C-alpha cells in the first residue's frame, strides 16, 4: 500500500472519515485537533495557564495516546481501503452477475446484498443492484440508489456506466408513466361508457 494512504493515519479519526466518510469519526478528529492546539497554546503562548509539570504530563500522555491511535489506524487501513481483499468470505459478484444475466433477479439481489455487506461502496455491485431493481419494476428504489452512486467519489471511473443506467431508468420511468396514463384514459372511457349506458337505460 502506498505511503499516501498511511499519511492519513497520522491524524486520529481521519482515515475513517477520509476513506469511508464515517461521521462517527469526526469527534475523534476534532478532539485531536483541539488537544494539539491546546497543548501548543499552554506550552508556548500562555505558559502561565498551567504548571510546567502538568503541561509535560499532558504532552507525554498525548504522545502515548497518539501512538496507540496511529498503530490502530495502520492496522485497520487495509480494511478501510479494500475490505474485499482482506475479507475471508469469497467474492460473490461473479455469481451475482451470472444470476442477473440468467434473469434470476431474486438470486442476483441476494448475492449482491452479500457483496455489499462486505463493501457497501462497490460501484459495480451497486450498479448491478440498480439494474435488478429496474428489471423488477422497483423504479423508485433504483432511482434513489443511482443518486447515491453518483455521489460516491469511488464511482467516478464508472461515470459512463452510471449515465447508461440513468438513461435506461429514465426510459423505464417514462414507459411506466405512459402505461399509467393509458390505463387512466381507458378507465375514464369505461366510466363514460357506463354512464352513457345508464342514461340510455333510464
Stated as kind and residue range, the H or E segment containing 13 is none
pLDDT for 44 equals: 81
| Per-residue model confidence (pLDDT) at position 103 | 94
CA dist 197 to 185, 186, 188, 190, 201, Å?
A: 18, 16, 14, 10, 6
- Identify the pLDDT of residue 112: 94
- Provide the sign of the torsion angle of the four alpha carbons 157, 159, 160, 161, taken in this order: positive
**Which among 151, 191, 146 has a CA at the least distance from the CA of 164?**
146
pLDDT at 51: 74
- The alpha-helical segments, DSSP class H, found in the chain are 3-7, 14-15, 26-40, 52-81, 83-86, 93-101, 105-118, 123-135, 139-151, 159-201
Hey, is 12 helix, strand or coil?
coil
Threshold 0.75, pTM exceeds: no
Taking the C-alpha atoms of residue 135 and residue 25, their distance in angstroms, rounded to an integer, is: 38
- Domains of the chain by range and CATH? 3-81 (no CATH), 93-201 (1.25.40.10)
Per-residue pLDDT of the chain (202 residues; tens, 9 = 90+): 567 777 888 888 888 888 777 788 889 899 999 988 988 888 788 877 777 678 788 888 888 999 999 999 888 888 777 776 766 788 889 999 999 999 999 999 999 999 998 888 889 999 999 999 999 999 999 999 999 998 888 888 999 999 999 999 999 999 999 988 988 888 777 676 666 555 565 5
DSSP annotation string for 52-93: HHHHHHHHHHHHHHHHHHHHHHHHHHHHHH-HHHH-SSPP-H
Spatial distance between the Cα atoms of 193 and 195, rounded to a whole number of angstroms = 5
Amino acid at each position: 500500500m502506498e505511503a499516501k494512504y498511511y499519511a492519513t493515519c497520522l491524524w486520529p479519526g481521519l482515515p475513517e472519515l477520509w476513506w469511508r466518510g464515517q461521521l462517527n469519526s469526526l469527534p475523534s478528529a476534532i478532539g485531536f485537533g483541539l488537544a494539539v492546539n491546546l497543548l501548543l497554546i499552554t506550552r508556548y503562548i500562555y505558559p502561565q495557564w498551567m504548571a510546567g509539570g502538568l503541561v509535560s504530563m499532558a504532552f507525554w500522555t498525548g504522545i502515548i495516546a497518539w501512538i496507540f491511535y496511529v498503530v490502530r489506524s495502520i492496522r485497520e487501513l487495509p480494511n478501510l481501503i479494500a475490505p474485499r481483499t482482506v475479507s475471508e468470505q469469497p467474492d460473490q459478484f461473479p455469481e451475482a452477475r451470472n444470476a442477473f444475466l440468467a434473469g434470476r433477479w431474486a438470486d442476483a439481489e441476494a448475492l449482491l446484498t452479500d457483496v455489499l455487506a462486505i463493501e457497501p461502496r462497490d460501484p459495480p455491485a451497486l450498479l448491478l443492484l440498480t439494474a435488478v431493481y429496474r428489471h423488477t419494476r422497483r423504479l423508485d428504489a433504483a432511482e434513489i440508489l443511482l443518486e447515491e452512486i453518483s455521489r460516491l467519489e469511488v464511482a467516478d471511473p464508472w461515470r459512463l456506466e452510471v449515465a447508461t443506467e440513468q438513461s435506461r431508468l429514465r426510459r423505464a420511468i417514462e414507459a411506466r408513466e405512459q402505461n399509467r396514463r393509458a390505463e387512466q384514459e381507458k378507465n375514464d372511457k369505461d366510466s363514460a361508457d357506463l354512464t352513457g349506458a345508464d342514461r340510455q337505460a333510464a
